[in-house]
Structures are given as structure tokens and as C-alpha cells.
Structure 1
């Protein structure tokens, strides 16, 4: 099976190979190393990725990871900087054209998306009720679940202990729906909301105690679908994302919330961009939503609400094996012969979606997911590095204070901007024993819109904070590929940011992608770019 180097698991880094990947010596804040205020569609790295992906997919066909004849699939890559698709790829297996009811495969082609429906469910609930609904007991909306008279936690679920957020983050221990199929004898007429809620209250055995861990739960999302039943008729909740083709399906209406949405690449793109740009939700709500809620048995797989978060170690430079942590927010789904994936990288303002049909569709989504992530997430990181080299690095001087200047440079094997030198009135503001780097904080002047994170035209002001590290830097933990201890990391960078007030704060003035001036937060000194 083809392996993609982007999705390196953290634990294998302890191998003794000289080619092993190693976390960067500098420990950055979690999040992007550099701002994304540039036009990614014009990036050489992104354009190279577009040329590369067909060859990657051809290799997957040749290796047998993808079935060339059986499969129909469509992929789309989109960018929040341009707010549109930047790449698409379509494949129709020989003899499979009959399955395309409109005669062609494009971004308007509608397909089942299985459990990606759960993302729609969560998005609608949060958009309608606010993130505070996560703390509400589910019995507030479905009081019939509270009529559970048993206190035996081995026999029945205690629904009074379960919140809406517990269900959305799959920590309710509510299990799947297979038992309900048996309970109703497979009779669809008996699979009503009332019968399902009675089954979950009186018959369903708990899988785990609530809020202990994440265990995938189709049953929990069927329950969630009932909590949102009063708002399902308001199609505007979906249509506000410019989703022309998405709909709630009525094969068996009960299962709408967990796996019965039909949609297209165009609508998945609209959904992804609306999340990245916080179009339906406020930016603060989006940030609260896009967080891990639980871990798994893997150090690289986390669980959100209901995000399937993959924690990647991505190279900070195309030519090196030094890496940083990057979280990709994914939701996958499948209805036997129809599968799907949507993935978002907030660090890069990038997303992609996949729709697959065919007898081997269940497996095919994974190599396609890996291929897109390996090709485009990596390219987006390199594009940000190149933009930092071209537009952020440089010498900046104060016009009001002689001998006051700051020089920003790029290190090929480290994240963030290095403060190579910093002088105030001719005196060195940095000690020789200190390394200092700047990282974006995602704070922008005059707006709370998430779209500001990816805006590349005009002028914007955004904040950076300086991370200090004493030299020599302590080695990274062995689990991160370093020479430190096997269990614990000895870097505490995140604890020192903002510790002394505004002294480590800098405001960048970006004009049409280029850093033109820097202002210190504490002294309000302004440094202007010296153009060479």
C-alpha cells in the first residue's frame, strides 16, 4: 500500500534511522507558523501540487490502492483566500457512465455522504441554538428520555447525565443503531422517532460512561436529529451557505441526522468555506467548535464535535525533515458503495472534499484523502514559507529614534520569523543567550471576521507575539524525534507568551501581501521597511 509521508505518526519518530523526521528545535505555538494573507492560487507551490496530483492518483491505480475500473470519484480543493475552488479532479471508471444520471461528473453531481451528515447536523444545531447548547442536558429537548427508572449503569443509559455536547462529541456511550434494527425486525414502518427514543431509553446498553472517552455513535446522532426536529423545516439554515443541491433525505427520515444527507462537491465547498470564514457562526463560536474534545488510542487522532482531527507533523521546509504540529479537521462518511470526506486546515485557509462511488468506495476514500493531504497541505505550508521569505522578512527602521531597527529573517529548519537583531537607540534589545521568534496570534485590527485571516488585497493590521527561548535549546522529547527523555518535553514556550504584558507584542501592517511596517505594542515604536 502507498504511504504518504505527511501523515507521519508521532510515535514512530523514535526509530534510529538517520532519515527520521524530527520536530523543530524551536517549539512554536500551536497554529500557523506564518500568516496566510496572500493569494494562494498564484503560489508556485500550489500550482506544482496541481500538476503533481494526477501522477499521484495514477500511482494509486498502478499500486492497486484504487480500482481504476470500478470507481467513480470527484475531488475538490478550495481556498479561503480566493473563496473558490482552486483545483478539481474527476474519474469515471470504464463502463460506469450509466451511473451518472445527468450524463456527466462535475461539482454539481449529487451523492450520498454518509456520516459527513453529522457535520451538517452539528453545524445546524450550533447555528440555530448557539455553542452554549453544548452544556444543555439532552432531556431538556427530549424529556421522554428522562423516564429511565433504572440506576444500574450496566443496563441502561442515564440520559440525565448526557448533554447535547456529549452527544455531538461522541462521548455519550450511546452506541450504534444495529440493535434498533433487530428490535424492529427491520420493519421500516416501525422505525419511528418515538420507537427509537423508547429503545434508547429502555433497551440500549451503555458502551462507556458519559464523558469518559470518545466512541463512535450513530445512535447518538439519531438522538441529536430529534433535538433539532423543530428546525429541520427551516431550509435556510442550509441554503445560507449557497448550497443549491444539499437536502435532508427521506429514505428513512429517522436517520437524517446521522447519515442521510445527499450533497455535491459545490455544496461541500460552500460548507467548508463558510466554516473557515465563519459565515454562519461567529468567529468565537467557530474557534470554540473547532477544538479537540477527546483523545483516542492514537497520539495523532483526536475527536471533536464531531470532527475527526488528525494531528500532523508537517515539514517546515521542502528540503528538510524538521517538522511542526498542524491539526487537520476531517469528517468522513460512507453508505456502503458511497463514501465521502471533507477536510479543513485552518492554519492554511485550505480545504478539500471527496465523493466516491463504487464497490470499493469504502476503502478508496482513505488513499484519496492521504493523497490530497500530502500534496496540498504540504504545498500550502511551503507557500506560506515562501510568502514569509518574500514578503515578511527584511530590515525595518524607526524614523523617530536613531539606531532603532529590527531585522526579521527565515531559518530554513525552524517555524516562525526569527528576530535576527533588535536595537533600540543603538542598544541590543536581545541578550546573546536568548532566541526570539515571532508567531501570528490571529488578532486583526478593526474586525473579528475570520475572513481577515486570509485576505490578501488592501491593508490589514495583525498581531504577532514573540516567543523567547534560552540558549542552548533543550532537546525535544524522544517521542518527537529528539534526543530528550522518552516521556516528557522540556519546552514551556506557551507558558511565557504575554507573561510580562505587551512587551512581546508586535503589530504588522500588511499592504497587498507585503509587510510594510512593524509597531511595538508597549513603546508604540514604528519600524518601516527598508526596501533594497
Structure 2
């Protein structure tokens, strides 16, 4: 395999800037989307360009040796909540593996093993069964047989919560060897597994000290689900996730051969994990699935099909930092903190979080990713002798192609539909201007008057002089929207965020010239703190037509 730098360098042409030229935006947005994404993203110029160039990016990975075109097979799917479907897919079938395709083709319905992407299914099912409050419950409430080990060098299970396990902060590490290999001995018993976890397993770190990857913790979560449901993990997965979402391929057992569409690599445990159905480890890494079902899973999360919206928002938050400045850990999300261009071909960036889950086992690997800022997601399923290595450049090339393109698409849509001049029909001295500006996130607010008075001081502090160019004012989606009972139009709430137009230098790690501490981006401490902060934007047919400034109760209609 080539070095990481070799294949990573292939991604640079996707961006219109090099690392040396990248700078954070002068404006400091609150964390979240810059613009609405409630449109058919697949029709945007930026996404179309990403689709057109994507095959050449895969070819470049083959040519550089980052992927082996003969021994690797994979299927990629990119999906959007606004089309409720796939917006792009790509398949490659390596010559060496063509005989493993039971239906003779590799497509959206082809079943792979997904490795630790299974952990996401486990947490999602748990939340659907018991709600997010269970994260605060001691695991011994459901598995009392873990109680009672007072040895100082063993896991103190009375201190471990269900959430600690879901967040990989239980300190339990990998499975005991006897349980990882129990299909070979025929002794895969829950009782023996839990006894070893209590009496034999040593803590990697104390509970909640830091996130440490923990397969064994998810084995314990599988047993929690069984106690909650009085079903096997396999049956509970069907009852509480697969059936409600219509996931046809999801299972912890090898699918039946009749009519099967799968990439089934033979060869036994050392060559392939196909058919190695260990139900102790299934909740950690034992699920079979295809990209169709991963897409339905992702859409259901982003659209709150099973969970209430507030529960989804709480679930999709970091639970622990790591030693990397650009990665955090959720339950069980691997959260990558991306810096993406604020507009196409811009060298100014903002932060956007990508929620992912990676999986790998013998001869198979998977990637699952959701971008809540863009209502977008993607999955990659890989098979072959180097599947776990191949997943990394594939994850990166898909994300680097489509996440900046989705940001640029939202910018394009905002430029066409949100910018303009708005005024009170009964009093034109009450007016505002919204702009969409290259290199800047959010909607610009260069002018805001109520009865001829510059009202922007009410966004900062009433005592401030806003007549010059000292301050910058921009609007960002708050995430709240509703249908107007009066007009039937969609109303979106935006927050007004202010900052110094030429702020202090950002820190070195932000790409700036400042020191150790961040003093230039503190919008989270001041947004909504003074009087005028929230605006209602009324959208008709995708176009902004009216703006209501809540503090003054003035509604302004589009005039240009």
C-alpha cells in the first residue's frame, strides 16, 4: 500500500486551494449550516460537477496504487433527504472477486459484511427501545450479574453506565479471546461472556476518563438489549429497527442462498468473515447489510423517522474528545471536524461536523457518514484482501468530492433565492438588504432600518456606533421552522450574528496567526444575548419573499 500522503495528495485537486492558502472566514458563524439545504441538491451545478469528475478520482487511486483494481470490489452510495433517494452511486468489481457475486452483479442490493458499522445499528435500536434516558442508567441495572467484583484491577461495573458503553468510554477494550473465537469452540454462551467481563477483563482506562475503542462494551450492550426486549439480539434488531425501517438485508446470520444478491467470499475464518456468525460479538461487528439499507438507515436518522427530533439532536453530539484536534467521539459516532470552503473556489473556510462510523473485519469493510449541515449522507461497502485499508481512501475521496460540493450547492441556491432588498409595504423607511457573498458563510445584513433608524446596533449593543465598517452582521439558519397558519408558507427562523469586520488573528491551528487561545470566534457566547437576534424568513416555492424582524414586529416584503 502507498503511504497516506501519497493517496491523500490525490484529493488536493478536488479543492480549489492548497493548505498554505486556506484561511478561516473572517466571520465567525455559530456551529451549523450556513444556508438552508431544502432543495433538490442533485440538480445543482456543484453536485453535477462532483458526479462528473468522480470516476476519474477513483481511476487516479487505482493508478497511484492506493487501491488494487483487481483484488478490490466496492459499492458507493451518496444520498440526500431532499430527494429521499440516492443521488449518486458507483460500483467497482475486481476481477479476482467476480466469482463471489452470487447474483452476477454488484449493485445497491448486494450484501456485504459491515463490521463495526454494526455498532451504529446497536445504539439506534437501543434508543428506539428505551429512549436516550437509558444512557444515564448503570449497566448493572440490566445485567446485575456484573456486580460484585471488588478487585482493584478489574472493571468496576457499578460505575459504568449504558451511555458509557455506547460512547466507548467504559474502558472495556476488546473481547476476551474465548468469546471472539467462540464459534470455533462451539461455546458462545452469554453467561460465560458476562462472567469473563466481570472477573477477568481488565480496564483499559477508568470509566469516562477518555474514549477508547471497545468492541467488548458493545457485546455487553447486546446483552442489555436482550434483557430489555426478552429477545435475542438478532430478533430485537429485526423487531425494533429492520422491520420498522423496511431493511430487507439486515441480519446477524448468513443470508440464505436462494435468490441471494451478495458478495460472499469463501475460505474460512482466516480468509473471510462471511458466514462467521458469532452472536456474542454481533452487536459490535456482526451485521450483514447492503447500501440500500444503509441509505434507509441514514435517511431515517436525518428525518427523525423513529426518534423524536430532540432525541436525534442529542444523540448526534460529541461525547468525548480524542487526542486529535479534528476528531471527536459520539455514541458511537466518529465525528470528523472538517474545514470546508464557504463557497465554490473559495480559500476561506468554516467548520462542519461529519458524523461517521467505520467498520472492518476479515475481507470486508464499511463506511457510513452523515452530514447534518447538508441533509446528505454516504456509505461505502468494500470487499477484498485489503478491504480495511481500502476503506480509508474511499471514505476520503467521497467526502472530499461531495461535502464541499454540497456546501457550494447551498451557496448557489441561497444566491438565487435568498438575497435581495425587502421593505415594509406601508413604510419604505423600514427595510433591509440580504446578500450572499463569496468567501463568507451565511446571509449578509449590510442594511437594516426601522423607521429610518439603523437597527443593527440592537444586534450588538444599543450603545455601539454601527455607522462605519467596524462590524459585520450575518444571518444563519437556527434549525427551527414551521408552516405559517396565515399564509401556508414555510417560515424559517434565522439568528443574527455580529462580529468585528476585521477580527483578531485566529489561532495557528485554525490556520491563522494568533497564539494558543481562540479569542476571534466567540459567536456562541453572544448570539441572542441582546435584543434583536431572530428573524423569520418566509419562503414560497423555495424563494424568500418576506422577512419579519421579531423584535420590532415589522414584516418586510421582497422589492428587489
Q: Report the TM range for the smaller structure's normalisation.
A: over 0.9
- Alignment correspondent of 1:455: none
Deviation at 1:401, TM superposition (A): 2.0
- Alignment correspondent of 1:2: 7
- 1:445 matched to 2:482? The reply is yes
Contact preservation (8 Å) 1:516, 1:529: yes
Deviations 1:362-389 (A, max 9, x none): 1111111001001011110000111111
Measured in 1, the distance between the counterparts of 2:30 and 2:10 equals: 23
- Alignment correspondent of 2:145: 144
Which residue of 246, 251, 263 maps to 1:247?
251
- Alignment correspondent of 2:44: 43
- Alignment correspondent of 1:99: 100
- Alignment correspondent of 1:379: 405
Measured in 2, the distance between the counterparts of 1:402 and 1:275 equals: 44
Deviation at 1:392, TM superposition (A): 0.7
Contact preservation (8 Å) 1:221, 1:258: yes
Structure 1 residues 170 and 239, CA, compared in 2 at 3 Å: closer, same or farther?
Answer: same
Match of 1:108, SS state, is coil
- Alignment correspondent of 1:420: 446
Q: Which runs of 5+ in 2 are unaligned?
A: 1-5, 255-276, 457-465
Match of 1:421, SS state, is strand
Measured in 2, the distance between the counterparts of 1:467 and 1:159 equals: 45
Structure 1 residues 487 and 469, CA, compared in 2 at 3 Å: closer, same or farther?
Answer: closer
- Alignment correspondent of 2:542: 513
Aligned pairs for 1:67-466 within 5 A: 67-150=68-151, 152=152, 155-181=153-179, 187-229=184-226, 230=229, 231=231, 232=233, 233-234=235-236, 235-237=238-240, 238-249=242-253, 251-430=277-456, 431=466, 432=468, 433-446=470-483, 459-466=489-496
Contact preservation (8 Å) 1:507, 1:519: yes
Deviations 1:10-40 (A, max 9, x none): xxx9xxx993311111110011111112111
Match of 2:30, SS state, is coil
Deviation at 1:488, TM superposition (A): 3.0
Q: Which moved more, 1:67-76 or 1:431-440?
A: 431-440
Measured in 2, the distance between the counterparts of 1:290 and 1:6 equals: 27
Measured in 2, the distance between the counterparts of 1:513 and 1:464 equals: 16
Structure 1 residues 7 and 489, CA, compared in 2 at 3 Å: closer, same or farther?
Answer: farther
- Alignment correspondent of 2:510: 480
Q: Which moved more, 1:478-487 or 1:366-375?
A: 478-487
Contact preservation (8 Å) 2:160, 2:207: yes
- 1:489 matched to 2:519? The reply is yes
Measured in 2, the distance between the counterparts of 1:351 and 1:105 equals: 20
Q: Which moved more, 1:227-236 or 1:55-64?
A: 227-236
Match of 1:329, SS state, is strand
Structure 1 residues 6 and 80, CA, compared in 2 at 3 Å: closer, same or farther?
Answer: farther
Q: TM-score, normalised by structure 2?
A: 0.88
Q: TM-score, normalised by structure 1?
A: 0.92
Match of 2:390, SS state, is helix
Measured in 1, the distance between the counterparts of 2:88 and 2:451 equals: 50
Higher relative contact order (CA 8 A, sep 6+): 1
Deviation at 1:179, TM superposition (A): 3.7
| Structure 1 vs Structure 2 CA RMSD | 2.0
Equivalenced residue count is: 509
Measured in 2, the distance between the counterparts of 1:24 and 1:440 equals: 17
Structure 1 residues 6 and 391, CA, compared in 2 at 3 Å: closer, same or farther?
Answer: farther
Structure 1 residues 459 and 40, CA, compared in 2 at 3 Å: closer, same or farther?
Answer: farther
Measured in 2, the distance between the counterparts of 1:76 and 1:343 equals: 10
Structure 1 residues 137 and 7, CA, compared in 2 at 3 Å: closer, same or farther?
Answer: farther
Measured in 1, the distance between the counterparts of 2:430 and 2:164 equals: 54
